[in-house]
Amino acid sequence: MRSSARKGFGFGITSGVITTLGMMVGLTYSTNSSIYVIAGIAVIAVTDALSDAIAIHIGEEASNTETEQGIWIETFTTFISKLVVALLFIVPVLIFSLETALIFSIIFGLALLTVVSIILAKIEKRPAGKIILEHLLIAIAVIVATGFIGHYIESIKNNL
């Protein structure tokens, strides 16, 4: 696989998991509504995938290190991977209770990040443990932070 495609997929999958999980946790704790969580996932899947794809595109054009074809491959793979990964998180919300869907989604998301980290470690010929730990800690920090934000918003909502 071309390095531009690997970069797009790596970025899209990682950003899709972390962004979607953060949004899911925040919306679950602040609304406790499956329909709002589904709506949030759908909106973020499209808008954030497009936003990240164009940001990658412009960043690569500015760095002038990639061919025009490589830039478009990276743009497309970023968009598709982020869109698909984010939309996958709708499935558990449709199948399970919101609380169970959230737990399932966190486990699925962290597992997906682990797989991406292992692949990255193999490509870079580095030990996987440090890379996995680094990426999972960042994702967990996002999950915890958005959980606190969701709880805070819920408490404000109850006091209005």
5 pLDDT more than 70: yes
Q: Is the pTM of this model over 0.85?
A: yes
pLDDT tens for each residue of 114-149: 999 999 899 889 999 999 999 999 999 999 999 999
Q: What is the pLDDT of residue 48?
A: 96
Q: Give the residue, 32 or 5, on which the prediction is more confident.
A: 32
pLDDT-based confidence at residue 158 (cuts at 50, 70, 90): confident
30 pLDDT more than 90: yes
**Domains in the chain: boundaries:** 3-158
- Cα dihedral across residues 141, 119, 50, 83: positive or negative: negative
What is the distance between the alpha carbons of residues 89 and 105, in angstroms, rounded to a whole number? 6
pLDDT tens for each residue of 63-121: 887 788 989 999 999 999 999 999 999 999 999 999 999 999 999 999 999 999 999 89
Average pLDDT over residues 4-14: 90
Other C-beta atoms lying within 10 Å of the C-beta of residue 132: 19
H-only helix segments in the chain = 3-31, 34-63, 68-88, 90-95, 98-124, 128-158
Dihedral of the alpha carbons of 105, 106, 108, 113, in degrees to the nearest 10: 140
Task: Tell me the longest C-alpha to C-alpha distance in the chain.
Answer: 55
Query: Under a CB-based contact definition with an 8 Å cutoff, are residues 143 and 25 in contact?
Result: yes
Q: Give the residue, 56 or 66, on which the prediction is more confident.
A: 56
What is the distance between the alpha carbons of residues 68 and 33, in angstroms, rounded to a whole number? 44
Dihedral of the alpha carbons of 113, 114, 119, 125, in degrees to the nearest 10: 120
Q: What is the pLDDT of residue 67?
A: 86
- C-alpha distances (whole Å) from 50 to each of 16, 79, 138 are 12, 6, 23
Q: What is the pLDDT of residue 1?
A: 58
